[in-house]
Amino acid sequence: MSSADARAVHLRAETAEGLRPVVHGYLVIVAAYFAFETLFYRVPGDPGFVPASSFATVVLCGWLFRLTRGARDLRRLDLAGHALNLMLVIDTLVDIHLQYNSIKLLYFALLLPIFAASGARMRVAAPGSVASMILFLVFAWRHEGARFGDYVWVGGTALLTGLSIGGILRAALLRVVRAQVTTECHRQQAQRLADCDALTGLANRRSFFRHAEAVLAAETPFALALIDLDGFKPVNDTYGHGVGDDLLVVVAERLREVCGDDGFPARMGGDEFAIVLTGACDDAALHAFGARLCQSLNETYVLGPVATTISASVGFVRGDAGLTVSQCLERADYALYFAKQNLRGAPVIFSARHETEMSNFSLVDHTLRAADLDRELSIVFQPQVDVVQNRTVAFEALARWHGAALGDVAPDIFIRAAERSGLITDITLKLLRKTLKHMAAWPEHVRVSFNLSARDLRSALSIHNICAAIRDSGVDPRRIELEITETAMLTDFDQACEALGVLKALGCRVAIDDFGEGYSSFGYIHRLPVDKIKIDRTFVTQLVRHGSAIKIIKTIIDLCRNLELDCVIEGVETRAELNKLMQVRARYVQGYLFARPMPAEAVLPYLETEMPRALAAE
Ligand code: C2E
Ligand code: MG
Ligand code: MG
């Protein structure tokens, strides 16, 4: 329904609301009058028609009252008015017909102002008034022939007075109602604008919170979903903001469709959406809903001449007693973060394990902010070995944090906490400076692989700082390899490419870390300024158990060879694993079999004694 139609419907309802008391008052007064007449008014020679019609009027009033009670329907009020007016005309007609008396003609004249004042609309007042006038004139013509002219004047004046008063009253009433409706429409529109996301028409963050609070207060089972679009920014950057906006509108339509009656979708800002879900909220139902959601959002978007695809990550949390909406959202956000890191395109439900992890995270985050990072952070180095030439070609720099309060904290934990809080860019810079300082003392042929986070690539300032740190150190940039994970690349492909381009222009090499953990797509590798691929440890752990793992590794090694990329296999722990890898001509290997990560001071002694040790070890 258009807003003009909605306003018209609203206006009619409000007009009915305003006029109902008038019609009801009319019914009550008429009923009271005719009840009195039923009991006490008699016409000589009447066999009982007058009391009968009076009584019928009282009954009709009662029925019409019921018919119009609570009705915001003008047509019902009109019907009641017509019916009662007709009844009054009949009553008067019966009375005057039974016993004509010139004074009784006044009844017809009196009906005119009554109809005019009491009808819901002029279309009710007018026919009754005209009918009374005609009857008035007919009786005057028949019985008052000589003074008919006077009666015409009286009747005409009564008709004019009645219709004028009725018209003026209704115009005034309608004006008030119209003003009220306009004010109400403006208020509702303002409310809608304040509660709505202007682009997609979905609820905005504010009304999402209000709705979620209401569901929480109602104590019905519910779940919250947070949705983040993967690959939206590249669409925006490549095709422009207009197409980006169109895409968000289609996303909103798809969300509405998937939610149906069970979900309240909202746009939280940018490419982040949320849903309050009521109905079945068990794991199976949430997984099924999440799968439908992801599938729908993954479908191709045809936006004018542009056809594109994106994917979505979803984090769910069940509304738990004792949690506020903000706390629920915080947990859904954690699940979303988890979904983005680990299972892109698959929904993640916040669990008890996440709860423990999250509280550890916030403790780590808190402590990290207050820590003396220059003193507490250190770097260890793990060799990457060329098994053909039997020598170490590079070391991977791995961060260590020994906090005064928490002791040793695994890098998986504190790096992720720092990534979430944004502290990572600072930490990266500190670690890089330390690494460069160590490298200055090592032989020129030894390279170092240094891990970067997605966040580092996202800011031009941090890339600038990284380049400056490398330049200032005096270390040859060609000795530095920067590792970046697949998932980090895909968060914002174009921006990552641009940042890596800047680092490559400086002379650094680039490696894709943990390849195979995420999308494992060669589709984009050739579009990246990459020199090396590091195959994820999970393939090596499956090497002995699953025959397919070695086939996959072989395929990746062959592809790397064709693309002239180096290929490092991570996490080799046993001789058996190494033997299998050597059968498929793996060349560069990193793992505990050769050495665990070692402090910087141990690097030179290790290099001096390494030669035959690695291959002899088991
Ligand atoms: P990564 O970059 O994939 O590093 C390899 C991880 O595998 C290291 O864990 C290393 O100690 C471990 N590893 C190496 N060989 C073996 C093996 O044979 N068996 C097993 N089980 N593990 C092996 P670590 O040092 O705990 O680092 C974990 C992750 O933390 C790293 O994975 C990296 O993603 C991140 N990280 C570490 N240092 C940094 C850093 O300076 N910056 C950033 N952004 N991330 C870092
Ligand atoms: Mg790495
Ligand atoms: Mg790795």
569-574, Cβ contacts within 8 angstroms, sequence gap of 24 or more? 569/534, 569/535, 569/539, 569/540, 570/514, 570/534, 570/535, 570/536, 570/537, 570/540, 571/536, 571/537, 571/540, 571/541, 572/540, 573/540, 574/544, 574/618
Q: What values do phi and psi take at 389, rounded to 5?
A: -90, -5
Q: Which atom of ligand 1 is found nearest the CA of 399?
A: 38
Per-residue confidence (pLDDT) for residue 618, from 0 to 100: 42
Between 485-489, 537-541, 611-615, the lowest mean confidence (pLDDT) is in: 611-615
Over range 13-36, report the average pLDDT.
Answer: 89
Tokens 């979620």 belong to residue? 212
477 within ligand 1 shell (Cβ under 6 A) = no
Q: Which atom of ligand 1 is nearest to the CA of 572?
A: 18
Q: How confident is the model at residue 579 (pLDDT cuts 50, 70, 90)?
A: very high
- The percentage of the chain sitting over the pLDDT mark of 90, rounded to a whole number, equals 52
Please work out whether the CB of residue 516 comes within 6 Å of at least one atom of ligand 1. no
Does ligand 1 come within 6 angstroms of the Cβ of 597? yes
Say which residues have a Cβ less than 8 Å from residue 19's Cβ, sequence separation at least 6.
Answer: 74, 77, 120, 121, 173
Indicate which residue's Cα is closest to atom 22 of ligand 1: 571
Which residue has the CA at smallest separation from atom 26 of ligand 1?
Answer: 411
Residue 71 CB partners (closer than 8 Å, separation 6+): 16, 20, 77
With cut-offs at 50, 70 and 90, classify the pLDDT of residue 399: very high
Least confident range of 304-308, 344-348, 596-600: 344-348
Higher-pLDDT residue of 320, 220: 220
pLDDT grade for 614, boundaries at 50, 70 and 90: very low
pLDDT of residue 486: 77
Of 113 and 429, more confident: 429
Q: Residue 433 pairs with which residues in a beta bridge?
A: none
Q: Is the pLDDT of residue 471 over 60?
A: yes
Question: Per-residue confidence at 518, pLDDT binned at 50, 70, 90?
Answer: low
* Nearest alpha carbon, ligand 1 atom 10: 597
What pLDDT sits at residue 3? 66
Q: Pick the range with the lowest mean pLDDT from 204-208, 345-349, 474-478.
A: 345-349
Any atom of ligand 1 within 6 Å of the Cβ of 63: no
Band of residue 189 on the pLDDT scale cut at 50, 70, 90? confident
pLDDT band at residue 358, thresholds of 50, 70 and 90? confident
Q: Which ligand is nearest to the CA of 536?
A: 3
pLDDT range class, residue 522, cuts 50, 70, 90: low
pLDDT at 9: 81
Mean pLDDT for the stretch of residues 443-466: 92
Question: Residue whose CA is closest, atom 19 of ligand 1?
Answer: 571
Ligand 1 atom with the smallest distance to the CA of 573 is: 18
Cα-to-centroid distance, 449 and ligand 1 (Å): 11
Q: How far is the CA of 115 from the centre of ligand 1 (A)?
A: 91
Instruction: Kindly list the structural domains of the chain, giving each domain's residue range(s) and its CATH number in brackets, ordered by start.
Output: 3-188 (no CATH), 205-350 (3.30.70.270), 371-617 (3.20.20.450)
Confidence (pLDDT) at 169: 83
Residue 537 CA, ligand 3 centroid: distance in Å: 7
Confidence band, pLDDT 50/70/90 cuts, at residue 300: very high
Q: Residue 571: helix, strand or coil by DSSP?
A: coil
The yes-or-no verdict on residue 227 having pLDDT over 70 is: yes
**Ligand 1 atom nearest to 590, measured from its CA:** 15
Q: Atom 42 (ligand 1): residue with closest C-alpha?
A: 451
Question: Do residues 98 and 49 touch, judged by C-beta distance below 8 A?
Answer: yes
Atom 43 of ligand 1, residue of closest alpha carbon: 451
Tell me how far apart the alpha carbons of residues 442 and 446 are, in angstroms, rounded to a whole number: 7
Q: Where are the alpha helices (DSSP H) in 196-219?
A: 205-217
Check pLDDT > 90 for residue 315: yes
Which of 141-155, 174-188, 275-289, 552-566 is least confident? 174-188
Q: Which atom of ligand 1 is nearest to the CA of 483?
A: 2
Mean pLDDT for the chain overall: 88
Query: What ligand 1 atom has the least distance to the C-alpha of 450?
Result: 41
Tell me what the mean pLDDT of segment 414-424 comes to. Answer: 89
What are 112-135's pLDDT values in tens digits?
888 888 877 888 888 888 899 999
- Closest C-alpha to ligand 1, atom 4: 398
In the reported structure, the alpha carbon of residue 521 is separated from the centroid of ligand 3 by a whole-number distance in angstroms of: 16
pLDDT of residue 617: 46
Ranking 69-83, 235-249, 488-502 by mean pLDDT, the lowest is 488-502
Mutational test site, ligand 1, from 415, 450, 544, 588, max ligand atoms within 8 Å of CB = 415
Over residues 186-193, mean pLDDT: 80
